[in-house]
Amino acid sequence: MNKQLLYILVGLIAVSCLDNKGNEKHVIFAGEIVNPTSDQIVLFKGENPVDSVKLDSDNRFIFRLDSVSEGLHHFYHNPELQYVYIENGDSLQVRLNTADFDESLVFSGKGEEINNFLLEMFLAREEEEFLVNSIYELEPGIFHQKIDSLRNIKLSLLEQTKAEFEISPKAYDLAKALISYSSNISMEAYPFYHRRRSGESKMHQLPDSFYEYRKDINYNDKDLTYLRPYYNFMKFHLGNLAYTMCKADCGDKIERASRQLHFNEHKLKLIDSLITQKELRDNLFRNVAIDYLLKHDTEQNNQRFIEDFKKLSHNNTHSTEIFTLYEGIINMQPSKSLPDFTLYSYGGEEVKLIDIDHKSPVVFYFWSGTEPGHFRNISKRITELKLEHPDYRFVGINLRTDKAKWKGMIDSNNLDRSDQFWTSNYEQAVQTLIVYNPNKTIVAKNGVIVDAFANIYRSF
C-alpha cells in the first residue's frame, strides 16, 4: 500500500467515527478538554439541560443526539460556560484549554463555520471594549459614525462567510443579531456615559437619527433569549426608555425618598408592555427585582415594589428566589433580631449567629478560600479596623471552602481562632444573610441588627 493511500484511509476512518450513521437529523458534538476542571460536560438549550456526559480517560467527550431543537445551545464545564450553535445533522468537534478558555476554543466538522464565526465576534467585542469605552466623550454624530463603522466591518465579514460557506438562514440571522445588538448596547448606553465622561449637567440633545436602529428591535425573538448581548441590550434599552419616559411624564414630581422605587416601577411597566416572550419576560423581571431589592430601599418601599411585581409578573419562574430575597431583606432590617443561622467554630461546635457575642458590637464579614485576593485585602482591612475600633469584635464567616483548607488558612495567617466561623451551606448563607456583595458586613449589638448592609471599606 502506498503512503498516500494509507493517509487517505486513515483520514476516512477518522471521519467515519463521527459519521451520522445515515440519520439526517443525528447530531454529534464531541471534543477534548485540556486541563479539565471537572469530570463532566452538560449541554443546555436555554435553562434546560439537554444531556450530560463524562470525560473519558483521555479527557474526551461525545454527545450523540437523535435530533436537537436547532439554534443556540451552551455547554457547561464547571465553572465555565460556552456557546455552541447546533443544527440537525451537525457533527461538531471542539477543542479547548481551560487555562485559556475563550482564546483556546476551536470548532471543526460540520457546523464549524457558524460556530467559529460567532466565537470570533465575541472575541472581537471583548477586544473592542477598550476602544468603545474611550469614545463616549465624543459628540453624538461622531460616536454614531464610529459605532456604525465597527458594526459594518463585522456585517461585511458575515456576508463574506455566507458567500463562502453554507450557512443556514437561521444561523445567519443569529450571527446578524449578535453583531447588531452588541453594537446597539453602546448606543443605548451613550447618553448616560457621555454625560458622566463629559461632565455635562444635562443629557446631551441627540439627533433624530441616533436611535434609528430601534425600529428593527425584536422584543420577542425566542431564538435570542439566551444570547447574552441581546439580553444585555434589553437591560440597557429598558433603563434608557424608563429614564426618558419618566423625564417626559413625571418631571420633578418624584419625591426623593421613593426615587429608586419609582424608577424601577417604570421598568416593570415597560417590560409588561413590550415583552411577551415568557422566558425573556421572566428573566428581565427578575433582573429588575434583584437589582432593586439589593439597593436596600426602605421596608415600606420594598413592600410596594413586591406588590407591583406580583401584579405584573405572573408565575415568574424565578419567583421563589425573588420572594426569598425579599423576605430575607425584610428580616435584616435595623432593630430586628439576627436571623436563625448556624455556624461551626474552629473546634467543630455548632454555634448560632445570635449567640456569638452579646456585649460589644459585632461586625460579621465574609470570605472564601476560593478568592485569595479578596481574603488578603479583607484581612488587611480588618487589622486596620481593629486598631480604629478596639471596642468592636470582628468575626469572619467563611463560605465555599473545604473545612480542612479553612482551618489551614486560619493557622497560616495567624487569625484568632475564636473569631472565625465556617458554614457548609453557601446557598442558605447567601439567602439568609444576603451576601451578594463580597465586601458587605453585618453590624449587630446584643443580638440585634444595627446595619445588615454595611460595607467593610465605606461604613466604618
Residues in contact with Zn ion by CB under 5 A are 246, 250
β-pairing, 362-368 with 393-399?
A: parallel
First-to-last CA distance in the chain? 81
* CA proximity to 213, closest of 173, 261, 179: 179
CB of 232 to Zn ion, least distance (A): 24
User: What angle in degrees, to the nearest 10, is found between the helix axes of 319-331 and 426-433?
Assistant: 60
CA distance 332 to 310: 22
6 or 250: whose CB is closer to Zn ion? Answer: 250
CB of 265 to Zn ion, least distance (A): 8
CB of 246 to Zn ion, least distance (A): 3
Residue 29 · residue 63 · CB < 8 Å:
yes
The x, y and z cell numbers of residue 162, run together, are: 455566507
Residue 353 · residue 343 · CB < 8 Å:
yes
CB of 231 to Zn ion, least distance (A): 24
259 or 405: whose CB is closer to Zn ion? Answer: 259
15 or 254: whose CB is closer to Zn ion? Answer: 254
CB of 264 to Zn ion, least distance (A): 10
53 or 246: whose CB is closer to Zn ion? Answer: 246
245 or 330: whose CB is closer to Zn ion? Answer: 245
23 alpha-carbon distance from chain centroid? 37
Q: What is the DSSP string of 157-189?
A: HHHHHHHHS---HHHHHHHHHHHHHHHHHHHHH
CA distance 183 to 188: 9
265 or 419: whose CB is closer to Zn ion? Answer: 265
Residue 69, class by beta-carbon neighbours within 10 Å (0-12 exposed, 13-18 middle, 19+ buried)? exposed
255 or 349: whose CB is closer to Zn ion? Answer: 255
**CB atoms inside a 10 Å sphere around CB 334:** 13
CB of 266 to Zn ion, least distance (A): 5
CB of 301 to Zn ion, least distance (A): 15
